[in-house]
Structure 1
């Protein structure tokens, strides 16, 4: 029956048969949307440099300037996590404003370091964020120089903050890679859907056109009127095939079991094959009718192409469908057509059995 069993076939699909596959929208990264709010929460720790300014012995004007610098530092820090200010600009402004407070708070300027470190880890582009984080990680080593007022164990505060920022950055990058892989997978599935559906549509339609053209050629001298009817039928089939291809590419086409069941005897009759239908569409499970339509279409196409049969029996029931012909039988390895059909069936938890019918071949699909 199948293309490689008899040199032809159709292609299947992994998703729900006949359904249009679209990429599931990925959720927005909350860090990209609400990172500024997270940054604003931690501004509470700017109380340390503020207290240092208030307790400093400098004049009021100097204190006011220092407090304004701290306020500007806070604003730049929040904007650095938003789309309103480049992270580079934010980092530069924060560093300049922090250094501007040195004449007032002296070594207390190190209170700004965690903010600079976490912004560098989370917002700077690769690979620059790694260099920046490395710079801030080395900063606590200044404690080894015994600088007056420099906290000896400053690294106990700064390094955990930077490790947290680095972990967030690495997890975010892994999530981005995973989401990109999901998007690529969705694109591949969609391409396979279009290729398989177009293959199924064209394989069936071109087979029907070939059979009708051969019949018209034989009748053109014997029965011109019948030949004319076949040529008109060829035109109608070609137009229908074109419409189906357009609908398939647009993701709008789904298998219709009633239509396929009505078309199958006509296509088989054109090839000189009689058809017997046992059961009806009403006997089948409504959940699987789109899949059964694809199975019937492919089975009929393969019979016309390769079976050299004289009769076909189509059996419909609540558990699936069976198509049996009295042709030459099947041999050879399973090819694309049967593999595609099997993918469709197994995708919904069913089974596909292909075997001899003494004579001929029987294709049987059992669905849950």
Structure 2
């Protein structure tokens, strides 16, 4: 069963049981048949028709794919008792209306309920001494069926909307995670490749080491992308804090770290790892900085560079960072430093 098929209305699962309980009111046509001035054969046949009506009513809820068949069978069996019950057959209409309201597809259920709602008004004709205004007694029952149908449909629509929202949110999460992983890894690869190219003639041993580092970074990036798509990857603040100075050093940027992982709130370390990764990526890509200061504290993280400062519109990386932080109930501030840029993430 898929998420869309999970019953959200108790009538969808237990309607047959509720319908069976309400069959107790068929005792009135049964009494009318027993007391009727007709032959025993006619009485037995009429009682069998009432029994068949009751069985068809319950099966109409239990086997939804054949609701039209059972509804038609109920109508035929009810009409078969007309010679004995006379005008009393309209006492079947609440059962027909409830089954139509709760089980027929849209928009057929509305027309069917409307028909069954009008039928009891023939009691106003006063035929066979049937109580007038009988429709006032059965209309509340029919209205109850209509309300159950409407509320059930609204709940089903809300369930579907929630499911669609969850799908969209998951897609955005994967896109954001892949962007962060690839953005950081590709930036590191680009910096290392440029450094290796400069060193290949000057320092072949160092160039070889950089090429081996590129291979390791590429393998790590591939593993991270696979884990992210599978929804299994979580940020590791300790690993990011160790990797950040190395990536920045390859870009010619010195790093100062104030505080340790132990100073941070354990609840938010995975988020802080993502923030640090994206901040380092932005520094390498855009800041043209010479130094970076990373500050860790129980309330969050601050990354300050001495680069060119904030220029141009906000990119996808920073937007993704804002979404992550706001989702955790935190705040993010991107302000000018002197010189450069200061990114401060505060968490509850």
Q: TM-score, normalised by structure 2?
A: 0.95
Spell out the pairing of 1:88-237 with structure 2 (5 A cutoff): 88-237=68-217
**2:50 aligned residue:** 70
1:306 and 2:281 correspond: no
Larger proportion of helix: 2
What is the SS of the residue equivalent to 1:275? strand
Equivalents in 1 of 2:317, 2:281: separation in Å? 10
1:276 and 2:293 correspond: no
**1:49 aligned residue:** 29
What is the SS of the residue equivalent to 2:269? helix
Equivalents in 1 of 2:56, 2:7: separation in Å? 28
Comparing 350-359 with 331-340, greater Cα deviation is found at 331-340
Q: More relative contact order in 1 or in 2 (CA 8 Å, sep 6+)? A: 1
Extract unaligned runs of 5+ from structure 1: 1-22
1:358 and 2:338 correspond: yes
1:318 and 2:298 correspond: yes
* Contact 1:79/1:85 (<8 A) preserved: no
Alignment partner for residue 31 of structure 1, among 11, 16, 29? Answer: 11
Report how far residue 158 of structure 1 moved.
Answer: 2.4
- In structure 2, relative to structure 1, the CA distance for the partners of 1:27 and 1:168 (3 Å cut) is closer
Report how far residue 272 of structure 1 moved.
Answer: 1.0
What is the SS of the residue equivalent to 1:203? helix
**1:293 aligned residue:** 273
Equivalents in 1 of 2:68, 2:119: separation in Å? 19
Equivalents in 2 of 1:290, 1:274: separation in Å? 24
Equivalents in 2 of 1:88, 1:24: separation in Å? 24
Extract unaligned runs of 5+ from structure 2: none
**1:18 aligned residue:** none
Equivalents in 2 of 1:85, 1:313: separation in Å? 67
Aligned-CA RMSD value: 1.8
Report how far residue 145 of structure 1 moved.
Answer: 4.3
**1:336 aligned residue:** 316
Report how far residue 95 of structure 1 moved.
Answer: 0.9
Equivalents in 2 of 1:340, 1:196: separation in Å? 6
Report how far residue 340 of structure 1 moved.
Answer: 2.2
- In structure 2, relative to structure 1, the CA distance for the partners of 1:24 and 1:102 (3 Å cut) is closer
- In structure 2, relative to structure 1, the CA distance for the partners of 1:308 and 1:289 (3 Å cut) is same
Report how far residue 85 of structure 1 moved.
Answer: 6.0
* Contact 1:209/1:237 (<8 A) preserved: yes
Equivalents in 2 of 1:113, 1:326: separation in Å? 81
Report how far residue 25 of structure 1 moved.
Answer: 11
Report how far residue 317 of structure 1 moved.
Answer: 1.2
Equivalents in 1 of 2:135, 2:24: separation in Å? 20
**2:234 aligned residue:** 254
Report how far residue 76 of structure 1 moved.
Answer: 0.9
Report how far residue 26 of structure 1 moved.
Answer: 6.8
Equivalents in 2 of 1:245, 1:137: separation in Å? 61
